[in-house]
Amino acid sequence: MTRQDTDWGYIDWLEEDMDESRAALNVGIVTIFPHAHMNPHIHFTEQVLYTLQGTGYSLVDGQKIDMSKPQVTLHWKAGVIHEMYNEGDEEFKHLMVSCPEIVRFEPTVSSEANQYGLSDEEAEEYLRMAINGTCEQFLDTLHYSYVIFNASGRPLKRTRIFPLFCYQNCMEEISSNTASCMCHYISCPFYEEMIFECPRGVTVFCLPVIFHGAFLGYIQGGYVHMHAVPREGVYIMPHSSIQGAKILLRQIVKAMTDYCEVYRFKKQLTQQEIELADIQQYQEVLIADLQNAENTMTDLKINNHFLFNTLNQMASMALAGGILPLYQSILDLSRLFSSALRSSSRVSLSKEFEYLHSYLKLQKLRYGEELQLDFEIETDLEQWMVPFNFMMPVAENAFIHGFSQEEKKQFFLQIQEKAGELLVVMENNGEQIDEKSCRLIMKKMKGSAAHGLSMVYRKLQSVYGEHFSIHFSPGQKEGMRVSILIPAVNIGLADKEEKI
């Protein structure tokens, strides 16, 4: 046996060598002198007590528990404040068994330091996050004395619980972080467990917080008396409790380094999410640029197609000697192309109507009284945002393929808004067309043909995806009817989306 003497009695440890690295059970026979008092102390591990002889009682967190009956078995939880009294004239003896959880400290040599290359600022960031992350579930639940320091030795967090001896002698200094144990000089970084004694004889343990070789800071705890001092009320800590104090410090360090690992993965995940978001945003910008480029090419093809037809008409007017109509048609053509050059990929419905109207005015100059134009506008054109140049190619198709040279030509346009959608209907009185021909036109339009209707279809598809429709059907009396249904996008909402 190994005897540990105290001022209130002694403990005979059954283990010859109290080696904390291999001890699974700490077993000792505790003897308290007659009428002696074991001072208040904190239990760092669970303990089981079995009364052998004598009369006495314990105070556990202030609650009195009688221990006078022989062969009484009692159990103390870790973290309780315990003191014991011998009320008799003989020695009070009990068997004490504690079972600490073995947590080994694995030192890290400086040559392996900082595998992740953490800067001083990042090291403190990890330490603070570990403190915050382990506080609620672990640190703040401990009935234990500790102080956590950063890598430069500045206290970041300390417990509110200190031994009675510290309260009586140093509480004011502890509150202001100026106690001698907190100001004790330690050369940082260090990679081994350290121990020192304050001027009042209190033993303090120091454990470094090492994360993949990076020294984040250290934790200080224990605050125990390991040998007798010339003061009353000093509790000499048993070897098992000293071992339990070290183990608890190691558990705190392990919890903090485990949280650092979690925090590192969180940071990596956040960075990956940012990178993915950047990639997604880049892809969205690229897709938008490609759509704009495609729209520009579509408009260019449409405008070139229209320009070719219009110039042919103007050449015919010049040969016929129509000087004034030719002059007016040149002005309208100039306005038409000026509007096309100034327009973006999306415009207000009023500007889109003006663009179509300029084209129809050119046709009106060409055909004069032979062409009748009818408009039914049943909505506020300034309110809606639409793709640029999606109506004029449809109208142009009617003049190229729908009308014959001899007949009186009629062109009808209707625009209305209903249930969140815009309906644009264009109808001519040209050659009567059947349902089969309408289906064939729709099939060609959805293909890769380069005519105006196909380019309009691709333009609407690039803007609305699948949320639009173009339908061809025979006219009510003769000719063909084209119905275009698109989402009604408010011009104010569209501006906000573009800014975002």
User: Per residue in 257-307, pLDDT tens?
Assistant: 888 888 888 888 778 777 777 777 766 666 665 565 555 545 544 455 555
Average pLDDT over the chain, rounded to an integer: 78
- Cα 349 to Cα 258, 317, 354, 421, 485: the distances in Å are 61, 32, 9, 13, 14
Write down the pLDDT at residue 396.
Answer: 87
Which has the minimum average pLDDT: 216-220, 296-300, 381-385?
296-300
User: In the chain, what are the domain boundaries?
Assistant: 2-98, 110-274, 322-499
Mind listing the pLDDT tens digit for each residue in 33-72? 999 888 777 766 778 888 888 888 888 888 888 888 777 7
Percentage of the residues of the chain whose pLDDT score is greater than 70: 73
> From edge to edge, which strands make up the β-sheet containing 92-98?
2-5, 9-13, 26-32, 92-98, 47-53, 73-76
For the segment 229-255, the average pLDDT, to the nearest whole number, is 72
Write down the pLDDT at residue 285.
Answer: 63
| pLDDT(405) > 60 | yes
CATH code for residues 110-274: 3.30.450
Token duo for residue 388 = 């640029």
* C-beta separation of 30 from 94 below 8 A: yes
Contacts (Cβ under 8 Å, ≥6 apart) of 449: none
Q: Bigger pLDDT: 277 or 255?
A: 255
* C-beta separation of 356 from 391 below 8 A: yes
Superfamily of domain 322-499: Histidine kinase-like ATPase, C-terminal domain (3.30.565.10)
At 197, the amino acid letter reads E
For the segment 189-214, the average pLDDT, to the nearest whole number, is 86
Q: Does 322-499 match 110-274 at the fold level?
A: no
The bridge status of strand 81-86 relative to strand 63-66 is unpaired
- Angstrom distance (rounded) from CA 23 to CA 33: 28
| pLDDT(110) > 50 | no
- Cα 434 to Cα 187, 447, 451, 474, 476: the distances in Å are 95, 20, 21, 6, 12
Write down the pLDDT at residue 105.
Answer: 43
Write down the pLDDT at residue 387.
Answer: 92
Phi-psi region of 326 (alpha: psi -120 to 50; beta: other; left: phi over 0): alpha
For the segment 198-210, the average pLDDT, to the nearest whole number, is 86
- Angstrom distance (rounded) from CA 436 to CA 396: 22
**Which residue carries 């993949």 as its tokens?**
212
* Long-range contact set of residues 341-347: C-beta below 8 Å, sequence gap at least 24: 343/388, 343/389, 344/388, 345/291, 345/292, 345/295, 345/296, 345/387, 345/388, 345/463, 346/385, 346/386, 346/387, 346/388, 346/463, 346/494, 347/385, 347/386, 347/387, 347/388
CATH code for residues 2-98: 2.60.120.10
The bridge status of strand 47-53 relative to strand 56-60 is unpaired
Write down the pLDDT at residue 485.
Answer: 96
Crossing angle (nearest 10°) for helices 435-446 and 452-464: 60
Write down the pLDDT at residue 413.
Answer: 95
* Long-range contact set of residues 180-189: C-beta below 8 Å, sequence gap at least 24: 181/147, 181/220, 181/223, 182/147, 182/155, 182/158, 182/220, 185/153, 186/153, 186/218, 188/151, 188/152, 188/153, 188/215, 188/218, 189/110, 189/113, 189/151, 189/215
- Angstrom distance (rounded) from CA 495 to CA 500: 9
- Angstrom distance (rounded) from CA 37 to CA 87: 9
Write b or e for each residue in 165-174: b if 16 or more Cβ atoms lie within 10 A of its Cβ, otherwise e.
bbeebbeeeb
Preceding amide of 189 cis, omega within 30: yes
Percentage of the residues of the chain whose pLDDT score is greater than 90: 13
Confidence of residue 174 (pLDDT cuts 50, 70, 90): confident
- Cβ burial of 52 (10 Å; 0-12, 13-18, 19+) is middle
Which has the minimum average pLDDT: 70-84, 190-204, 356-370?
70-84
Mind listing the pLDDT tens digit for each residue in 409-465? 999 999 999 899 999 999 998 888 888 989 888 888 887 555 678 888 988 988 898
**3-class SS at 232?**
coil
Write down the pLDDT at residue 295.
Answer: 59
* C-beta separation of 263 from 126 below 8 A: yes
Confidence of residue 203 (pLDDT cuts 50, 70, 90): confident
Which stretches within 321-434 are classed as H helix? 323-342, 349-367, 392-397
Cα dihedral sign, 59-63-69-70: negative
